Structure 1
Amino acid sequence: MKYNIKQLHTLFLMALLVLGTGCKKFLEENDPSNLSPDTYYTLPEHAEAAVAAAYAQTRFIGNGAGIFVANFSMLEVVTGTARTETGQNSDLNNLIGLQYNGDNLLVRNWWNGLYSVIAQTNLVLDKVPAISPMNEARKAQILGEARFLRAWAYFYLVRLYGDVPLVTVPQQANSPDFLPTRTSSEEIYNLIVDDLTQAENAGLPWKDETGRASRAAVSSLLSKVYLTMAGFPLNKGASHYALARDKALDVITNSGISLFATYNDLHNVARENQEEHIFQIQYLATIAGNPMQQLLLPNFKNVSAWSDEIGSTVPTVQFYNSYEPGDLRAKDREGFFYTSYYDGGSGALKQLNAPYIYKHFDVVAHGTSGVPGTTQSDMNWPQIRYADVLLIYAEAQNRADGSPNAQAYSALNSIRSRAQIPTLSGLSQTAFEEAVWRERWHELCYEGITWFDMVRLRKVYNETTNGFDNFVGHRFPDNPSIALAEKHLLFPLPTAELRNNPNLTPQNPGY
């Protein structure tokens, strides 16, 4: 099922109509068409519409960033596991070459997109509590959803840019902190933890197959936050590995969440918001279709009902070849990649002579053997998947307790068993940890996760050695002439933001 944004937009319009045709005498000098946050948030429907708008803002991840690129690509091409087949976008090329600065459009779009989510959730948290009459249980849930989304946005921001402005109330041009200074990363994390802790106690259902935030999503995100806090740059260590372990275990031992039996279910529209999918960004073709399908296709190799096949973000051959022999995730059109597809999406099978991303491939939209595609994609975009929670638990338990226990092996081996590769046993703490890291690279690729693992671990997977190099100095096999530097641990603040708000200075080191 989909989170029905269309219905809530209808409620939004109904609310405007109510405000514009109320019981006040029309001669009163009070223009009802000039709505403001102070006059709008008066009905329960307004609360529903407001939180729907916050969910809608998360779709900035799939928005365009100039010719042939969407924002999601920023987190992939800097990992060394992705490249591009089109060279027209200089911002994307600069990211691939690690030559970006604060003028980069994708760097700016991530900043603006995340703060737009925060701005909307701040409105919800500020205005919805006063709406009366309203069902108090539903009100608490809406506030919990808003806190989850605000934490989700700040978690991206603090990992991307480090110290960032902490804005928790709606802003106007005359607000005293309209030009805020940067807040320490530790304080940002404190806000994230507080928001998620309150969201856990907001009465949300354990699972929600409509696409709303659920308690499982909240606890899963909190486990990821604690795991990140345990590593760089905060280095909270054992205490936060233990917190991550316990939150992940809560999700694992609860009900209704499991790995899909097949990888094809990961990109089956009928299985969205279910089982392995704990939280996703929602798309529906009749409202807001998934805009990333054409971008991930091979560059004009005629494998889809769509005519515009971009090849904007595709796997590197070195990463594709790093999977273990027999790993189902690397099997053509069964795992995460495809190396052949049907002519025009529905004709004869043909070889492509390179790997492409199948994990996000919408078969219905593109077409399949004998079945033309619709060129209309309802496919959601993953944010939290159960496989991630299992690997969080395995890593955190091993670090918190000094060695892997049986449940950590079970978590790790459930990922490997589905991939049809041998299970592991009898490893040292270090060997087990690196085994978990390898699974994170191979299981969670192209989901906007790998870059953040690189930063928190200060390590990068080496496809040639099957080991891990230090972040600083690592060279990507696909581009060995350049190396990761200390400055790349953070992205630069957008130049336009520094220009508009001098209180944001200094710029991040190295930019």
Structure 2
Amino acid sequence: MITFLKNTIKATVLLTTVWQLSGCQNFLDEINDSAITQENYFRNADQAQSAVDGIYDFLRSSFQNRDGFGEAPWTSMELLVGHATTLGQSTYNTSMISHSASAIDPVFRSVWANLYKGIATANLSIEKIPAVEMDESRKQNLLGQAHFLRAFYYYHLVRLYGNIPLITEAVNATSPQLYPEQAPVKDVYDQIVADLTFAEASGLPNTDQTGRISQGAVKALLSSVYLTMAGYPLNLGESHYQLAADKAKELLDTGWYTLFDDYYALHDRAHKNQQELIFQAQFGSTLATNRIISMITPENIGVSKLSEEQGALMPRNEFVQSYDEGDKRIEEKEFFFTEYLARDGASVKKFGQYALYKYWMEEAAGPNGDANSDINWTFFRLPEVMLIYAEASNEINGPTREAWEQLKVIRDRAEINTPAVETFSKDSFREAVWQERYHELCFENKAYFDIQRTHRVFDLKSGKFVDAFSFQNESGTTFSEQYLLWPIPQNERDTNTKLVQNKNW
């Protein structure tokens, strides 16, 4: 019996308690009703809504769950790239930087377990909701949300672990899927595309400012999936670059999203789920606290109202210095900062290095803060879709003016010049877009996946992209093929002998 299913079944999580169901309450309010079972649930529209709302819980636990020393999935994915360091006490974080982790490390286990719990919850909703008597348009909307979230969880699982069990039906203690075999990567991607195609046709709203899934989120995710399928490991090439470009352009042409004028809007309370923020995991005072501020604050520096300052992830100076001269994003209190008022507001604490202002929430951690870090975690925002279009279009047609304009708009906001479109070759434009992904989307869990799909890494000193497997990065680590994938968690393999470990783990 697979550990993630065994544990969920024992706790009746697969049945429903995993849902953290919100019932008729606000979408951001959590409850945990352990009396609910498959037999007495899914009887009306409100229960169906509650079940789907519960699938969202794993957006938080899968990526922002936190252990005692600043360990979290988002830090692991960033530290593997080599453009950040850690000041904290976590040996696990240190092992991510040096690529010396073990298959028993907790982050590999927690991400696997939480993503599969989310999938199990989605499967149950997809199976049960069609039989619920309710308004048909609302039913299709709920099913669209469930299909999207299942696709989103599988998209992360297949990129992180490669060949994985592909489970699309609700599982109970007698199911043969308790001991599933791994499916080929292509099969998983086909299922992801099928789920997103369903979601796109399900009547979701164009945009949504409550944090639920929208048409915009579906199209953004589809464009990302197609771009990934075009590269490693599937290498489907031109056909999927075309699909990525078409889907990204489809979204861009709607005008549903616009860039913020001020970078601070990326991480304050007033602008959650708005404007350029296409899809976010929700945090709130009645829902869950996001401890990311503790993780990005220099260790015990004395500036945060939060109870801990861990220095779990600190951008390397070389990374910040790789931006163009005059780039607004590296000005103090734009994407990074180097000093801040002491906790009592009486003096200024200098860090001696860069920290991520991109995730700093003044309302929570400043001298007048309320010590409630409820910053959302962003999965997709408009600049990524713009860059997906620019990259994919370039692969098909070379550097067209329309693709160049997407790059230029992002750089215009950063107040830096973009060379004329005529100066670019296909190769140089590709690298310009890749570099913009590193700079604009920095520390948003994009760089690791970019390395996977391109097998190229960003040399901070030269500003060029080089072979991933022969370059020693600023952390002194050479990326190895082993780290293209995470290990199948050892406890899962101990339970299910059908699971084959990834190469070199």
TM-score interval for Structure 1 and Structure 2 normalised by the shorter chain: over 0.9
Match of 2:371, SS? coil
C-alpha distance in structure 1 between counterparts of 2:182 and 2:222, whole Å: 23
Query: Alignment partner for residue 405 of structure 1, among 400, 403, 417?
Result: 400
Query: In the TM superposition, what is the alpha-carbon distance from 1:347 to its structure 2 partner?
Result: 3.8
- Asked whether the equivalents of residues 242 and 397 of structure 1 are also in contact (C-alpha less than 8 Å), the reply is yes
User: Are the aligned partners of 1:154 and 1:188 in contact in 2 as well (CA < 8 Å)?
Assistant: yes
Residue in structure 1 matching 2:375, options 364, 379, 390: 379
Aligned to 1:498: 493
| Counterpart in the other structure of 2:224 | 224
**Residue 474 in 1 paired to residue 471 in 2?**
yes
Question: Of 434, 457, 464, which aligns to 2:461?
Answer: 464
- 1:341 aligned onto 2:348: no
Aligned positions of 1:111-260 closer than 5 A? 111-132=112-133, 134-260=134-260
Q: Cα gap change, 1:104/1:38 in structure 2, threshold over 3 Å: closer, same or farther?
A: same
Closer/same/farther in 2, CA of residues 187 and 16 from structure 1, 3 Å limit: closer
Query: Structure 1 338/231 Cα, relative in aligned 2: closer, same or farther at 3 Å?
Result: same
Query: CA offsets, 1:128-163, max 9 Å, x none?
Result: 11111x111011001000111011000001100111
C-alpha separation in 2, matches of 1:449 and 1:263: 18
Shift of 1:460: 0.3
User: Tell me, what secondary structure is at the counterpart of 1:37?
Assistant: coil
CA-atom RMSD in angstroms: 2.1
Separation in 1, partners of 2:32, 2:363? 37
CA spacing shift, 1:355–1:250, aligned 2, 3 Å: same
Deviation at 1:484, TM superposition (A): 1.2
Secondary structure of 1:461 counterpart: strand
Shift, 1:70, TM fit = 2.2
8 Å contact 1:230–1:239 — kept in the other structure? Answer: yes
Query: In structure 2, how many angstroms separate the alpha carbons of the residues matched to 1:283 and 1:474?
Result: 38
- 3-state secondary structure, aligned to 1:38: coil
Q: Indicate if the aligned counterparts of 2:248 and 2:388 stay in contact, CA closer than 8 A.
A: yes
* Structure 1 counterpart of 2:3: none
Q: Select the residue among 74, 80, 83 that pairs with 1:81.
A: 83
How far off its partner does 1:11 sit? 9.8
State the structure with more CA Rg: 1
TM-score, normalised to structure 1, is 0.91
SS in 2 for 1:177: helix
Residue 509 in structure 1 maps to residue 500 in structure 2:
no
Q: What 5-or-longer segments of structure 1 have no aligned partner? A: 18-32
**What CA deviation, in whole Å up to 9, does each residue of 1:101-142 have, x standing for no partner?**
21011111111111111011111101111111x111011001
TM-score (ref. length: structure 2): 0.92
- Contact (CA 8 Å) 1:233, 1:456: kept in 2 or not? yes
Q: Which residue of 1 aligns with 2:67?
A: 65
Q: Do the aligned residues in 2 keep the contact of 1:345 with 1:373 (CA within 8 Å)?
A: no
| 1:386-443 CA-partner distances (Å, limit 9, x unpaired) | 0100000000000022x11111111001111111111122201100000000000111
**CA shift at 1:90, angstroms?**
2.1
Note the 1:354-365 alignment, pairs <5 A. 354-365=353-364
- Quote the residue 1:485 is aligned against: 480
Provide the residue aligned with 1:436 in structure 2. Answer: 433
Is the contact between residue 6 and residue 287 of structure 1 (CA under 8 Å) also seen in structure 2?
Answer: no
Tell me the alpha carbon deviations over residues 280-326 of structure 1, each in whole angstroms, 9 at most, x when there is no partner.
Answer: 00000222121222111111111122241111111111111111111
Q: How far apart, in 2, do the equivalents of 1:453 and 1:14 lie?
A: 35
Q: CA deviation at 1:263?
A: 0.7
Residue 264 (structure 1) shift: 0.7
Provide Cα deviations, 1:449-499, integer angstroms capped at 9, x if missing partner: 110001101000000111011111221212x2x311111111111000101
Aligned length: 483
Preserved contact between residue 186 and residue 234 of structure 1 (Cα < 8 Å): yes
Structure 1 contact 84–312 (Cα < 8 Å) conserved = yes
Question: Larger deviation: 451-460 or 54-63?
Answer: 54-63
Offset of residue 342 of structure 1:
1.1
* Residue 449 in structure 1 maps to residue 454 in structure 2: no
Aligned-pair distance for 1:16?
11
TM-superposed CA distance for 1:12, in Å, is: 13
The answer to whether residue 384 in structure 2 is matched with residue 388 in structure 1 is yes
State the alpha-carbon separation in 1 of the partners of residues 229 and 354 from structure 2: 35
CA pair 373-206 structure 1, distance change in 2 beyond 3 A: same
Amino acid at match of 1:385: R
Please give the alpha-carbon distance, in whole angstroms, between the structure 1 residues aligned to 2:53 and 2:208: 15
Letter in 2 for 1:204: L
Query: Are the structure 2 counterparts of residues 83 and 12 from structure 1 closer, same or farther at C-alpha, using a change threshold of 3 Å?
Result: closer
Query: Contact conserved, 1:231 with 1:456, CA < 8 A, in 2?
Result: yes
Matched residue of 2:436: which SS? helix
Task: Using the aligned pairs only, state the percent identity.
Answer: 37
Residue 418 of structure 2 is aligned to residue 423 of structure 1: yes
Cα deviation, residue 357, structure 1: 0.5
Displacement after TM superposition at 1:14 (Å): 13
CA distance in 2, matches of 1:168, 1:386: 30
Q: Give SS of 1:107's match.
A: helix
- In the other structure, the counterpart of 1:99 is 100
CA distance in 1, matches of 2:85, 2:39: 48
Name the aligned partner's letter for residue 389 of structure 1: V
1: CA distance, partners of 2:21 / 2:355: 31
Task: Spell out, residue by residue over 1:44-100, the C-alpha distance to the aligned partner (whole angstroms, 9 max, x if none).
Answer: 1111111111001211111123433222211110011111001x2222221111011
Equivalent residue of 2:177, what SS? coil
- Deviation of 1:6 after TM superposition, in Å, equals 5.4
Q: Is the 8 A contact 2:27 2:53 kept in 1?
A: no
- In the TM superposition, structure 1's runs of 4+ consecutive aligned residues that sit over 4 Å from their partners are 4-17
Indicate conservation of the 8 Å contact 2:69/2:310, yes or no: no
**What is the one-letter code of the residue matched to 1:362?**
M
What SS is found at the alignment partner of 2:51?
helix
Q: Which amino acid in structure 2 is aligned with residue 508 of structure 1?
A: N
Indicate conservation of the 8 Å contact 1:179/1:501, yes or no: yes
